[in-house]
Amino acid sequence: MKEMILASLKASLHTKEKSVLTHTDDLLAATENIRQSLVAGGKLLIFGNGGSAADAQHIAAEFVNRFLKERRPLAAMALTTDTSVITSIGNDYHFDQIFQKQVEALGRIGDIAVGISTSGNSPNVVLAMETARKMGLFTIGFTGRGGAIATLSDILFTVPSDVTARIQETHITLAHILCELVEERMFGGVGAAAQP
């Protein structure tokens, strides 16, 4: 069992390191796009299924509340949390549309859609990303090796693994780095009263 623990840790660390090093420039580009959107009054719309739904909520909370710095709240929302909206769309239309309709309702030019799918092929994430692109939103995708969202993402974060757990662990690591970079770019070393 101890060997299993160490093997899991090593696999996680290796996957994270490879992905982060591959996407260093993408992290910087995403940081600047997020900063520009938030400064201009835009927001992040974040969505995914299962563990990725939890990740969407986790990431939104880091922006709205705080990550490392005491600063003003930043506009981000997970489209995975309103059960009345989600179940009404799933019941009246189709589960594939649960994020698409929310993007249509809430998205505005200047906003950023963040789609999370370990396979890259979740139909409801793909449809929401397609809609976001058609509406003129900037799109950021988090996936495993690619999938359908690859061609729908202005910036795509891939993870070199076929193991869902390793992909999800790496997604959160990448997202935490983004949160830290955005805070640094917007607020530097200044306290809660800082403005961009």
Give strand ranges (E) for the chain. Answer: 44-48, 76-78, 112-117, 138-143, 155-157
Q: Is 104 annotated as a binding residue?
A: no
What does the chain come to in residues?
196
Q: Is 91 annotated as a binding residue?
A: yes
Q: Is 49 annotated as a binding residue?
A: yes
Q: Which amino acid is at 97?
A: Q
Which residues is 157 bridged to in the sheet? 142
Q: Is 176 annotated as a binding residue?
A: yes
Backbone angles phi, psi at 163, to 5 degrees: -100, 120
Distance CA(103)–CA(113), nearest Å, equals 8
Q: Is 14 annotated as a binding residue?
A: no
Q: Is 12 annotated as a binding residue?
A: no
Q: Is 58 annotated as a binding residue?
A: yes
Q: Is 119 annotated as a binding residue?
A: yes
Q: Is 62 annotated as a binding residue?
A: yes
Q: Is 161 annotated as a binding residue?
A: no
Q: How far apart are the first and last CA of the chain?
A: 49
Q: Which residues make up each annotated binding site for Zn(2+)?
A: 58, 62, 168, 176
Annotated binding site for substrate: 49-51, 62, 91-92, 117-119, 122, 168
Binding residues, as ranges, are: 49-51, 58, 62, 91-92, 117-119, 122, 168, 176
